Structure 1
Amino acid sequence: MSSEKTCIFITGATGYIGGAVLERLLKHPSASTFDITALVRNEDKARILESKFPVKVVRGTHQDFDKLEALAENAHVVYHCADSDDVPLAKALLSGLRKRHANTGDLPILIHTSGASVVTDDARGEYAAGIVYSDLNVEQLKSIPATNMHRNVDLLVLEADTQGYARSYIVFPSTIYGIAEGALFDAGVSNRHSIQIPSLIKAALARNHAGMVGKGQARWPDVHIDDVADLYIVLFDAIVSGRSGHGWEGFYFGENGEHSWYQISRAIGDALVAFGISKDPEPTAFTAEELAEYFGAESVSRYYSGSNSRLKGDRGRAIGWKPKYTTEDLLRSIRPEVGAFVQLQQGHKA
């Protein structure tokens, strides 16, 4: 990155994580030296983004492989914050990085977004168990089965590093929570809400009662959207200053606490009572029919909120990441999140 401008290409800028990362890149102390490009599918959002923010916008989809390849080839740094399971998308980005290295000798940087689902089990809410993975334990990381969720793309990203045409880093957010804030979100460019907790909120509103998978005993790590976005920037700064390894030494778990799924569902139940939607805050188990209706026909999606994932984000802390929000903040965040969806639901009915 010796040129005057650092060319950054970001996917997922209109999403929850990507929007929060882009928000911080635009506020970075070195933002004046960044030349940021984002791929955007939605025309209205593309127009707002390019008119109100110092971002170059390219219209396109994740199926525009030639376009994705060219955008990656032109970038010193690629932030991949979109679909973590899209193999053809990842291959297009990697092909572009390979071409850049072959044609310029530059060693581009890829910061890929995976997820804590990479180590989930099939507990279906019945128990809390599982190995606790540290992102500093490389042998433990290598032992994760290739068939696990997200692992197919993660291994492609790692192989690029092994082959030497890119320096790769992977961020693994856990249960992300909090209503995202900032200019991009205020402008309607990026999505304010996560997926995991809102999916449980929407199901609870549909049945007028909080629900959970099985007994809700399985456990997951959690991280606030502001903290995980900060991790991406702390990592970027560490890469630039030579303080971070890459490849297998470039795993970063986004984690600052752990919750049971029962705690999440009970907090939703408390909120439903507070809003006069339910009289009983105690969550009940989803029926098989409800699981299929609210979460999809596939077993992985149906029982997702009943799985265990046990992670410790030690590597990020070792390079200066200082997450400040805790599991208590997670539980406090649920009532306003429920309130936002209640308001949205009422708006649709009006």
Structure 2
Amino acid sequence: MKVLLTGATGYIGSAVTDHLAAAGHQVVALTRGAEQQSRRAWHGRLVGDTADPASLAGAVTPDIEAVVHLAPPSGDVDVDIAVIEALAAPLRGTGRPFVYTSGVWVLGATGEAQEVGEETPTDPIDIVGYRPLIEQRVLAEAAERVRAVVVRPGIVYGRGGGIPALLVDRARRQGAPEYYGEEGVRWPTVHVDDLAELFVAALERAEAGTVWHGVGESAVPVRDVARAAGRAAGVLAAPHVVTVERAAEVFGPLFADALALDQSVSGAAVRRVLGWQPSRPGVVTELASGSYRPVEVFGAPEGPETDAEVAAVRRVVAEVEHAQQNELVDRFLSVFRRQDPVWTTGHGKRLSGFEEIETFTRKVLPGAMAESTAVYDVERVLFLRPDVAAVNVRQQPVRHDGTRIADRPEGRPFYILVKEDGAWRIGAAQNTVAVD
């Protein structure tokens, strides 16, 4: 389909562009200016502004087969209704899709209810006060033979952006991670690339008049998100809660209330009906060891294929961390290749072959984390070949609450990873203690 996409230059819009193009659709971007946009997978571009409904006249030409409206609301209900009218009217009588982007904040606080679904009545917080009205205006187009669909994303993360990036920045600036409201606040979340795949599914398969929750994880404790944001910022400290009143001084009262909103929202319906399968790492994992922590990469060209390989390398190192922290012997051993691995431990013990590594690990790992543990962060990756990577890792000793042990030295593990049968495994490892 040829798809008119508003908000195409934005955080979510960039991901949706990529996934629409990958699915074979032609993206016509609606942008406010005619400046060049490099490396965009756009088929074409139109100039218009969703803050000025009159500028949208003629945007939906007869060859436009679908509209995905991602641009944020203007803050003026009459303007936003006029935008819906301008974009939807040319589709009437055609059965063509019109997909509108709302958000789970229209549900308000979910209280004791767990994983509320699309049938739950709206109770919007002030920052999205009139959004339910716009949703209903969109869904009413189904009676005019427009395949009108509403998507409500959760808190979007991934690609180093979204609200979690704000938490990373705040942790870096304040020297400690923070979150807002009360101790038990939870956020429904979704990775931006999973969400983009949902927009493709909604465009292709959703029935007229339907609403879908774009939620990968239904209720992530924001304290955990804040801790991971601190780690992404290089701040290994316990997160602290900031009252809504104090947060309002920084973000304004409307956004502060949104950050403090406690929700548990289900994304089960869209999985069941549209076959959407979110597959990216959860928000805590993504913050701790994904796109929010830059990695220097050498020996491979820039692009999505290299990004995918770096992500796979990071997952191996994250598995080392998880297995170490939880004293999981078999999972730790699973990161090594079976054929002739070698490992020099942090205490200088040289191990050759899988059997030696297994014997040593089964002896020393159980009970080793009783007093403290460590976190592992990939800092540099050198691809010696497409299937061989040299990996520099920073290892920091931490208490079980995740805070840094200041009087203990760091480690500098160095791994040679080998890709066999599609999976990266450690072929050689050297653990070195960093000494001032």
Q: TM range, normalised to the smaller chain?
A: 0.7 to 0.9
Q: State the shift of 1:166 in Å.
A: 2.0
**Corresponding residue to 2:190 among 223, 226, 248:** 223
2:277 corresponds to: 322
Whole-angstrom CA distance in 2 between matches of 1:236 and 1:210: 38
Question: SS of 2:255's equivalent?
Answer: helix
| Structure 1 residue runs without a partner (length 5+) | 1-5, 180-191, 239-243, 341-350
Higher helix share: 1
1:303 aligns with 2:257: yes
Q: Match for residue 173 of structure 1?
A: 153
Contact map agreement 2:168 2:232 (CA 8 A) in 1: no
Q: Does the alignment pair 1:245 with 2:207? A: yes
Change (3 A) 1:289 1:322: closer
Aligned mates of 2:87, 2:232 — CA distance in 1: 47
Deviations 1:98-154 (A, max 9, x none): 2443xxx42332111111111122x9xxxx63453223xxxx34x224777321221
- Show structure 2 runs of 5+ residues with no match: 295-436
Alpha-carbon separation, structure 2, partners of 1:26 and 1:18: 12
Aligned residue for 2:144? Answer: 164
- The equivalent of 1:60 in structure 2 is 48
Specify which structure has the higher proportion of strand: 2
What secondary structure sits across from 1:303 in the alignment? helix
Is contact 2:188–2:263 with CA below 8 Å preserved after alignment?
A: yes
Whole-angstrom distance in 2 between the partners of 1:236 and 1:287: 40
The aligned residue for residue 19 of structure 1 is 14
Q: Which runs of structure 2 are paired with 1:109-120 in the superposition (5 Å)?
A: 109-120=97-108
Shifted more, 229-238 versus 10-19: the winner is 229-238
For residues 338 and 320 of structure 1, what CA distance do their matches in structure 2 show?
Answer: 29
**Contact 1:94 1:160 (8 Å CA) reproduced:** no
Quote the offset at 1:205 in angstroms.
Answer: 2.3
Q: What letter matches 1:154 in structure 2?
A: E
Distance across 1 between alignment mates of 2:43 and 2:247: 41
Deviation of the 1:303 alpha carbon:
2.5
Q: Which has the higher contact order (CA 8 A, sep 6+)?
A: 1
Q: After TM superposition, give the deviation of residue 313 of structure 1 in Å.
A: 1.4
Compute the RMSD of aligned alpha carbons: 2.8
SS at match of 2:220: strand
Residue pair 1:220, 1:261 contacting (<8 A) in 2 also: yes
- Counterpart selection for 1:332 from 282, 285, 302: 285
Look up the SS of the partner of 2:223 in the other structure. Answer: helix
Distance 1:17 1:54, change over 3 A: closer
1:70 is the counterpart of 2:49: no
- Alignment match, 1:144: 122
Q: For the structure 1 residues 170 and 8, does the alpha-carbon distance in structure 2 shift closer, same or farther, using more than 3 Å as the test?
A: same
User: Quick one: distance in 1 between partners of 2:124 and 2:187?
Assistant: 21
Aligned residues: 286
Q: Which one of 250, 260, 277 corresponds to residue 294 of structure 1?
A: 250
Greater radius of gyration (CA) = 2
Deviations 1:58-92 (A, max 9, x none): 22322331232421354321100111465424422
Q: How many angstroms apart in 1 are the aligned matches of 2:91 and 2:230?
A: 52
* TM-score, length basis structure 1: 0.72
In structure 2, the CA distance between the partners of 1:65 and 1:288, relative to structure 1 (3 Å rule), is closer
Range that drifts further, 166-175 or 199-208: 199-208
Alpha-carbon displacement from aligned partner over 1:193-222 (angstroms, at most 9, x marks no partner): 22x212222222222211111333111221
CA distance in 2, matches of 1:19, 1:82: 12
Query: 2-side partners of 1:228 and 1:325: how far apart?
Result: 10
Name the structure 1 match of 2:229. 268
